[in-house]
Structure 1
Amino acid sequence: QYNVKDSYVKVACGILGLNATDGTWGKVIEQWDTDVVWLRNPLTKLSLNETEDLQISVDKYFGSRRPEHNLINTGFYYIRSNNKTISLFDKWYSLKDNSTRKKEQDVLLDLLRHGVVTELDLRVRFLETRHFSGFCEDSKDVGAVTTVHANCCRHINAKVRDLTAVLRDWKRFKAALTKYPKAAQFLVKDELDLALEEASMPNKTVIIAVVNRAYVEQSVNAETTMLDLFLESFWLGEDTRALLEHLLLVTVDQTAYDRCMFK
């Protein structure tokens, strides 16, 4: 435990610099805000890939690796000590002193949006809110969430009240699982997430086809439908039949939906 009067950015700069001077490259700093409750071990959801320089939480997760497409939150970051990250923190700290009206988080966001990732050749991973939840965008998967951050919550009293409610609900959830252990298999997950998980290949690839009424209704003088032809091609093609296991049909109307239920 340390009593620090300066910003955590300066402290992190010093630690990263120390790693550089004493030759202990590859050491990792994890920085957490204390307005976070830990429900499961979040470290299991981090990448072990040593080429990842920075892993950071977000207010909203858009599934993009592009820095300008992500609303970062410095409530948690996991950073590996090397020349690139030391340069990043040096820039962050120097700009922070010249940006008196901005929070440290906003200064880092500006850096990321103005090309520092490309400039320093950084590899950045933005963490999914499914696992690293918050009040800006809460996880819909109680079976996967690891932490809940009181972001998008301005006052400390509101943070305490809402995080207290989170822990109260968590206790009830754990008590219910203890009493009814088989209930764990019925945890509610997003329907689309489940479909994508079931259809995905080992490399996470999914084949998605959009189907509407015109594709499932037989035209005049036609012997089959467009959907039937599409599916038959997988059966007749070379090395394509197994791909049916990874096909996800997205229907846009009730007629198409009823047909794709294959009743």
Structure 2
Amino acid sequence: MRFRKEAMTAQKHIVRDVFVVLLCATFIILAVSAIVHKAATAFNPFLPDGISQRVNIFFSPKVVEDSRATTFQPLPSAIDVPSQRSPDSNRTEILAGAGSLQGVPVPAPASYPDELDVVLAPAPAPDKLDKVLLPAAPEDELDRVLAKTANSNRTVIITALNVAWAEPNTMIDLFLESFRVGEGTPELLNNLLIVALDAKAYDRCLEIHPHCYTLKTRGVDFSAEKLYMSDDYLKMMWRRLGFLADILKRGYSFVFSDADIMWLRNPFTRFSPDADIQIASDQYNGSPYDVHNMPNGGYKYVRSNERTVSFYRYWYLSRRLFPGQNEQDVLNIVKFTRGFSRRGMKFMFLSTQYFGGFCQRSEYLDDVCTMHANCCKGLKAKLTDLRQTLDDWSEYRNPPLNSTRNVSEWRPPYACLHSWDN
């Protein structure tokens, strides 16, 4: 009887000990889960703003009462594109007359997975967009350059330049020459800001233009020519997008133009007076508000407001979901998402009749404002066909008496056509 009683007592002790161990393990698991959840929430930039706004890896917030006075600085991760996509191997076919790019993959118009809209933060409420807790930052060099360059409407024209395009008698010289020989464009040089991506490009800018700014990126060399879709090319494109987002945050609207775009007429006469974002098209289907148009990020007019500031943040952060893609490819994806439509922007595609390129050229010179050397690989081919573009423009403005061709039509960009053969 005594042994039976002792056995029952021991059994009770074992049950008690097991219960205590399970209880302690439960508390430990709950504590670890809470810590992991807090860390994941803090460092996940794609959670909704209401959850992740405590830690914002996109901006280093400096100020915020008024969106026109606020600034943000892209962090070093702004140029962190983890993987590389091989250069496009598709052969580009450009038709001799009014042409269009053939063989370029077009994103499917079907809706994208709901997960994209869940992962990417929805548009924050406009009245909460710019609220942060830090005091206003002092004016910096970029503020001073923008104030000096912008017109009375706080609009600035921006192009980016590295040393490969800054050499004498190369891209930057053709770019500036187009302003000088265009209709209504010489005065726009007063509002042009050249953003140099390396020290040599900055020095050259100071020699040829009054408004220059150097965009420093620690640990990255942007000086050499960057082949399309190379790792350095992707870093440069995303760094550029982060910089343009900074311009908007400071309250300045901008027209961004690649330097391989010839400005032949004043584009402001063709811009919509109320669109938030107006962007060039590689392929234009005739409907300016149809998101199935193919955008080209090398030329756009963006007004600074809460909608565009919010969208640029959304666009920039989307790069983490699509490693190895450039900003234009990612735009082609996010334009179909709810996060895009929720921002309520008036997003407009510019007609290639007025804002043409080698992908899809207008047939005549009578209305064109700009001509872009897109769908072209390599600096040499671009320079050859852009010089021909300026020659065509010169003959159009001052037709030679012995001309044997219709000077109101463009000659085909043969150098760019054959640039894809190798």
Task: Give TM class, smaller chain.
Answer: 0.5 to 0.7
RMSD: 2.3
- 1:158-197 alignment to 2 at 5 Å? 158-176=381-399
Contact 2:258 2:298 in 1 (8 A): yes
1:136 match: secondary structure: coil
Q: Aligned partners of 1:47 and 1:4: how far apart in 2?
A: 30
TM-score between the two structures when normalised by the length of structure 1: 0.61
Q: Aligned partners of 2:350 and 2:250: how far apart in 1?
A: 27
Alpha-carbon offset, residue 13 of structure 1: 1.5
Equivalent in 350, 363, 371 of residue 127 of structure 1: 350
Provide, for residues 211-251 of structure 1, a one-character-per-residue CA deviation record: whole Å limited to 9, x for no partner.
xxxxxxxxxxxxxxxxxxxxxxxxxxxxxxxxxxxxxxxxx
TM-score between the two structures when normalised by the length of structure 2: 0.39
Query: Please, which runs of 5 or more residues in structure 2 have no aligned partner?
Result: 1-211, 218-238, 410-422
Asked if 1:46 is matched to 2:271, the reply is yes
Match of 1:3 in 2: 214
Contact 1:10 1:93 in 2 (8 A): yes
Alpha-carbon offset, residue 46 of structure 1: 0.7
Segments of 4+ in structure 1 off by > 6 A? none
1:5/1:112 CA distance change after superposition, 3 Å = farther
1:47/1:65 CA distance change after superposition, 3 Å = closer
Q: How many residues align?
A: 174
Match of 1:34 in 2: 259
Match of 2:151 in 1: none
Query: Please, which runs of 5 or more residues in structure 1 have no aligned partner?
Result: 20-26, 189-263
Q: Aligned partners of 2:381 and 2:336: how far apart in 1?
A: 31
Contact 2:289 2:348 in 1 (8 A): no
Match of 1:226 in 2: none
Alpha-carbon offset, residue 82 of structure 1: 1.1
1:86/1:160 CA distance change after superposition, 3 Å = same
Equivalent in 156, 169, 188 of residue 379 of structure 2: 156
User: Whose radius of gyration is greater, 1 or 2?
Assistant: 2
Letter in structure 2 aligned against 1:33: D
Q: Aligned partners of 2:352 and 2:359: how far apart in 1?
A: 9
Deviation larger for 40-49 or 131-140: 40-49
Percentage of matched positions with identical amino acids: 34
Match of 1:104 in 2: 327
Provide, for residues 174-198 of structure 1, a one-character-per-residue CA deviation record: whole Å limited to 9, x for no partner.
2218x69xxx9x967xxxxxxxxxx
2:386 match: secondary structure: helix
Match of 1:72 in 2: 295
Q: Aligned partners of 1:41 and 1:125: how far apart in 2?
A: 18
Contact 1:16 1:81 in 2 (8 A): yes
Match of 2:278 in 1: 55
Alpha-carbon offset, residue 30 of structure 1: 1.1
1:113 match: secondary structure: coil
Contact 1:67 1:112 in 2 (8 A): no
1:93 match: secondary structure: helix
Alpha-carbon offset, residue 169 of structure 1: 1.5
Higher RCO by CA contacts (8 Å cutoff, separation 6 or greater): 2
Greater share of strand residues, 1 or 2?
1
Contact 2:280 2:349 in 1 (8 A): yes
